[in-house]
Chain A
């Protein structure tokens, strides 16, 4: 497919990337390109300038702090996480990254790209919300950090605005996590997915694919009836499409919430 004409820059530093993003109205950051290149083919996005982040080494990598906090650079690929010994400090991260698409996409697709594109069917938005991740955003006015559940604002919209970059994601220590999904084909796009974490005591659940942003639930306990009641009480209003009716998605949300919580409870 011939893309619409576009300009390209490949800065070597974050500061240079921010300058380029800030100096062109239609500039967009290019991470792994596994979403952006395809939406450019479909003309669903037509940036005038692509700012390729590939050469900015400080954006890629996984660091395990002495307090157990994982710091993951936005340009870290899914494969990097699957293969990383450090990332096993929070095992659910590698397990979920290993379910995304296929080898080729995992080799190029990035954690930052996944969350910044914020497609409601993506795996990482609910997961990062459930595990209590924090997102660090850098802009011309400096750096700020916010919880993942405040990062996702709407379909394809996040707190990282024009001219800003998500630089890193911090994941606190923990292991009592679960993730359950019904995908379209194995490792395909999710019809519904649910991430759960019991590390804070009471469960934190984040349900994906049923709304513009992950739906967060905090039932009082991990007991089956309590979780079921919490999902029913959320009055989910998911979309209907060729893959599932809204009713079936509501049903899946309940079942997958129980599965995710059961998996998390098994890892206490």
Chain B
């Protein structure tokens, strides 16, 4: 085993297999957005603070700007594009719409993935647990109240 500056990785994203050669320095968010053209996941701050790039890797919520693409070798990745099916919003997405849980929408893909991870672990979270679950996601429009309401509604 020697160190290499690029390698071929295989990942499954939203059920689709991809094999690509990537540079070791390539951040996972750039791989997803630019190499796979899945631009739902956003880059907000690029410093690991805002959470707009949040995705699930093997079921675990992570910020994809704080991972290299090569670290995802072999992983099953879920992004916001995987939530809707056949053009129909899933229950969580619909709840965000119904409760006006977004204004500009920039943070929404990350919020949805954090809420997805939370609701898989905890089917009926309290307000406090919801707030703890989305703490890594910054929204500058809503003041979070409607986001918490939407997640609570989706849980019911």
Q: Which residues of A contact B (CB under 8 A)?
A: 1-12, 16, 20, 24, 27, 30, 33-34, 37-38, 41, 49-52, 54, 101-105, 107-108, 186-187
Contacts and interface: CB of A to CB of B under 8 A. Distances in A.
**Interface-centre pick from B25, B47, B65, B137 (highest chain A CB count, 10 A):** B25
Contact of B27 (A3, A12, A27): A3
A44 B136 CA distance: 23
A4 B24 CA distance: 10
A218 to B, nearest CB: 35
Given A5-B25, A187-B135, A105 B48 contact: yes
A8 B70 contact: yes
A8 B136 contact: no
Contact of A103 (B7, B67, B136): B136
20 contacts: A1-B27, A1-B65, A3-B26, A7-B24, A8-B3, A27-B3, A30-B71, A33-B68, A34-B66, A37-B48, A37-B68, A51-B3, A54-B71, A102-B136, A103-B114, A103-B136, A104-B63, A104-B136, A105-B66, A105-B136
A52 B51 contact: no
Contacts of A8: 3-5, 7, 24, 68, 70
Nearest to B67: A33
Nearest to A185: B135
Nearest to A107: B60
Contacts, number: 101
Nearest to A79: B60
Given A24-B3, A50-B3, A108-B62, 20 more contacts: A1-B46, A3-B27, A5-B23, A8-B68, A8-B70, A10-B73, A11-B1, A12-B1, A30-B71, A33-B67, A33-B71, A34-B48, A37-B65, A49-B3, A52-B70, A52-B71, A102-B136, A102-B137, A107-B62, A108-B67
Interface of B: 1-5, 7, 23-27, 30, 46-48, 51, 54, 60-63, 65-68, 70-71, 73, 114, 117-118, 132-133, 135-137
A104 B51 contact: yes
Contact of A6 (B5, B48, B62, B66): B5
**Interface-centre pick from B60, B65, B71, B137 (highest chain A CB count, 10 A):** B71
A104 B117 CA distance: 10
A21 to B, nearest CB: 10
A66 to B, nearest CB: 32
Nearest to A7: B3
Nearest to A20: B3
A260 B20 CA distance: 51
A10 B118 CA distance: 30
B58 to A, nearest CB: 10
B72 to A, nearest CB: 10
Nearest to A8: B24
Nearest to A42: B47
Given A7-B24, A8-B70, A37-B66, A102 B5 contact: no
